[in-house]
Amino acid sequence: MRKILHLVLKEMKIRLKYRFVWVNMALTPFFIIGPYVFSSRIADVNSLAENVLIGALLWYWLNQYFFGVGDGFTEEREEGALISVVLAPISLLAFLFSKAADTFLMNLYITFFTLLFFYLSGIKLEIHLYFLLLLAVSGVYITFFSIFFAALSLWKKRIRSINSTAQFFFGVLSGMVNPVENFPSYVRLISYMIPLTYLISIGRSIIKNGNMSGFVPQLLILTGLSFAYLILGVWLLKKAENEIRKKGEWESW
Amino acid sequence: MVRSLYLAKASFLSAKRYRIDWYGAFLTPLLTIMPVVLLYYFGTESGLVRFFYGATNTKNIIGYLLLGAAYWNYVEVLWGSVFALRYYMRIGQLEELFIMPVSSIGYILSWSVFGLVKVTVESVPIIVLAVLLNLMTFNLVEFALAAGVVILSIIASFGLVFLFFGITLRFKEGDELVSLLGNAAPLIGGMFFPVSVLPKGLEYFAYAFPFTWGLDLSRHFLMSTNTLLDLEKESIVLLALSFLYLGLGAISFKILQNRARRKGFQGF
């Protein structure tokens, strides 16, 4: 745990050196999810913009985890530093968890500014304590999902090329802008395999009802699914690690 | 010039090796507009269609979005030069790059030509989709006019490339600004809806952006949508802004590059 905290601290110290990153992080999410939220406002249905904002915000959390954790080995690989990570007395899984903790902190920063900018643009989301809890939970569960992607990316290097595309797929299929119930049944089958689907649905319930009642079954499925991805991810990570060790490919990309 | 084109060719041949990169690039523009398409598709009782018809003179929202995505593909791809520069900084090859017999402008040209060729290939699905769905009804003259508008927009985009390239050389973090602008531009420039929907502050900002006018004119020529100003005035605004951006970009690049060379390129 201390090792993870040290790594998080290191990431934060590095980031503090780059001032433009903070400006970019504060503004970009508003601009990326803005088109979807503003389009829904055109529709003249008051609750629609709120629903889309919740969906898009949670989707943006997934984006950050997919870049931060899912793509967690890429930068080190390109800079030739992955071999140092492997030689360091910390497991690859712990290394990814440190990236997840760092992403979580950045996501809090992002969320604050995003909600502020939407508030100033006239889209006001009533934030409940439960919603903040959900964000924390989503951090854990999306981390598990991202570890699965990171393992895939370690195993098959070029997978990272479709990271952004995959994120959009997950967003659309998870019901970022519309409830998944609108989709045909065969599309819904895929939707229900994505943890984000449950998080968005729970988030909308919280904002609508102001409490956490009525979605325990969803939370249970979400927990089961996320742990399944974690187990699969850890297994794949080990498999990829062993394969790379055998082939001596730590420095190739 | 010849060296730059050879570099562009080399980049293209390298890119051809990784087919999976192309699959992502083919799909991303379509997936970007997909959430708005879904809002439109599942929201038949919503005011989206009414709004679009009133504000733009078209009910063809999918065509409107497809054209916006194709336009932004061309404008934004040039900004990739800054990411390429940053990439070489990160992997520690910037110094080697600058002792090659190719100038900074040569690199910008090379990476831009590569980007334009690549984006033309990547835009095929959008263009085919637009034609298949018979979304746009235009004649050759209108198509030529729209192409002229895109070329003017590309000239303006080069202005920003020069500015951000210079900033990256001098302050290293230019890619963060490009990323911010690249993410903000579709919203501010009217890719998804007319800029009149934006909050007032952003709307005024949008008018200082040549791409807002460029996209508006392209849509007018290809889809007969309403324009922000009358055609003649809007063309003059686009022309003036494009060359203003190019001029300012070129000057700032010169200044920033000289300062960066004096300070040294090492580090990132």
Q: What is the pLDDT of residues A34-46, one digit of tens each?
A: 888 888 877 666 6
What pLDDT is stored for residue A245 in this prediction?
A: 84
Judged by CB atoms closer than 8 Å, whether chains meet at A177 and B39 is answered as yes
Residue A216: per-residue pLDDT: 82
Q: How does pLDDT run across A209-236, given as a tens digit for each residue?
A: 766 666 788 889 999 999 999 999 999 9
Distance CA B149, CA B227 (A): 14
CB < 8 Å to B35, chain A:
36, 39, 56, 171-172, 176-177
Euclidean distance between CA atoms A192 and A225, whole angstroms: 9
Closest-approach residue (CA) in chain B for A44 = B47
Chain B residues with CB-CB distance to A40 below 8 A:
39
Distances, alpha carbon B152 to alpha carbons B29, B113, B157, B192, B236, in Å? 22, 16, 9, 21, 11
Give how far B140 is from chain A: nearest CA, Å: 32
pLDDT reported for residue B148: 92
Determine whether the interchain pair A42/B197 forms a contact, defined as Cβ–Cβ distance below 8 Å.
yes
User: What one-character-per-residue DSSP string does B207-268 give?
Assistant: HT-HHHHHHHHHHHHHH----SS-HHHHHHHHHHHHHHHHHHHHHHHHHHHHHHHHH-----
Please indicate whether, in this complex, the C-beta atoms of B39 and A36 are within 8 angstroms of each other: yes
Identify the pLDDT of residue A84: 82
> Is B141 in contact with B222 (CB distance < 8 Å)?
no
Can you tell me whether residue A134 is helix, strand or coil? helix
CB atoms within 10 A of CB B27: 19
> What gap in Å lies between CA B184 and CA B52, rounded to an integer?
22
Supply the pLDDT for residue B8: 76
Write down the mean pLDDT value for chain A.
Answer: 86
pLDDT number for residue B119: 82
pLDDT of residue B239: 92
Q: Which two tokens stand for residue B149?
A: 């508008």
Domain ranges of chain A: 1-252
Q: Give the residue ranges of chain B where pLDDT is below 70.
A: 43-47, 133-138, 265-268
ipTM (interface predicted TM): 0.80
Taking the C-alpha atoms of residue B26 and residue B30, their distance in angstroms, rounded to an integer, is: 8
Closest CB from B21, B87, B91 relative to A161 = B21
* Token reading at B34: 């997909």
Quickly state the pLDDT bin for A137 (edges 50, 70, 90): confident
Rounded to an integer, what distance in angstroms lies between the CA atom of residue B18 and that of residue B15?
6
Hey, which bits of B100-170 come out as E strands?
A: none
Determine contact: B102 vs chain A, CB below 8 A: no
Non-local CB neighbours of B16 within 8 Å, separated by 6+ positions: none
Q: Assess contact for B102 and B3: CB atoms under 8 A.
A: yes
Contact residues for A131 (Cβ-Cβ < 8 A; gap 6+)? A203, A206, A207
Give A59's pLDDT tier (boundaries 50, 70, 90).
Answer: very high
- Predicted pLDDT at B9: 79
The 10s digit of each residue's pLDDT in B182-230 is 888 888 988 888 888 888 888 998 999 999 999 999 989 888 888 888 9
